[in-house]
Amino acid sequence: MESYSGDINRLIEELGALPGIGNKSAQRMAFHILGLPMDRVKRLSEAILTAKQNAKYCKMCYTLTDQEICPVCSNPKRNHKMIMVVETTRDQVAYEKTAKYEGVYHVLHGAISPMNGIGPSDILIKELLERLKGDVEEVVIATGSALEGEATAMYLSKLIKPAGIKVTRIASGVPVGGELESIDEVTLLRALEGRVEL
């Protein structure tokens, strides 16, 4: 990497630190950016800055959004008595793409993982319990099928069921959170429709 000047190297390093971008891709992107007209580069960097500056958690479901209350939570046509619990905003978006789920969501921003030192208080479970004090009929647990997702599902079901709220789990076979978006909508829909009561 001695062959590029400091500024170009820095750009390649920053791009290469992004997920899924190897050094070759980072170089290709860097030189693509350097070949763009200045106004395009300004638009790109402004889009990154603006999205970052305005991104916040929805006050109700904690998904990442640029509004106080996200479009799903502020939609009166959604069933607010049904809450689907997901690990990430990306998972929520994947389910939203099926266009068949009519309830609302709760984003935990992670899953319980004792191996990685992530306990119940490290993800947004307290916030979920707070929401359940309202009028809720069903909680659909749609955390991933890996160890962490299952542990989280078990933990939540033990916590919520005594409150007399129906707790269901999406059908198995859906991979871990963050990977949901790579699954086709039919599979997600089948997992949702095949959910079982815990």
Backbone angles phi, psi at 177, to 5 degrees: -50, 145
User: What one-character DSSP code corresponds to residue 95?
Assistant: H
**Two tokens at 9?**
């190297």
**Two tokens at 177?**
């959170």
Torsion of CA 188, 179, 62, 154, to 10 degrees: 70
* Nearer to Zn ion (CB atom), residue 84 or residue 180: 84
Measured CA to CA, the distance from residue 29 to residue 12 in angstroms comes to 8
Site residues for Zn ion, 64-83, by CB under 5 A, read 70, 73
Residue 151 interacts with Zn ion (CB under 5 A): yes or no: no
Which of 12, 60, 84, 170 is in the footprint of Zn ion by CB under 5 A? 60
Tell me if 88 sits within 8 A of 65, measured CB to CB.
no
**Could you give the string, one character per residue 12-51, with x where binding to Zn ion holds by CB under 5 A and - elsewhere?**
----------------------------------------
* Nearer to Zn ion (CB atom), residue 70 or residue 139: 70
Q: Which residue has the tokens 């059908």?
A: 171
- Closest approach of Zn ion to the CB of residue 139, in Å: 15
Residue 61 interacts with Zn ion (CB under 5 A): yes or no: yes
Residue 128 interacts with Zn ion (CB under 5 A): yes or no: no
Interface contacts to Zn ion, rule CB under 5 A: 58, 60-61, 70, 73
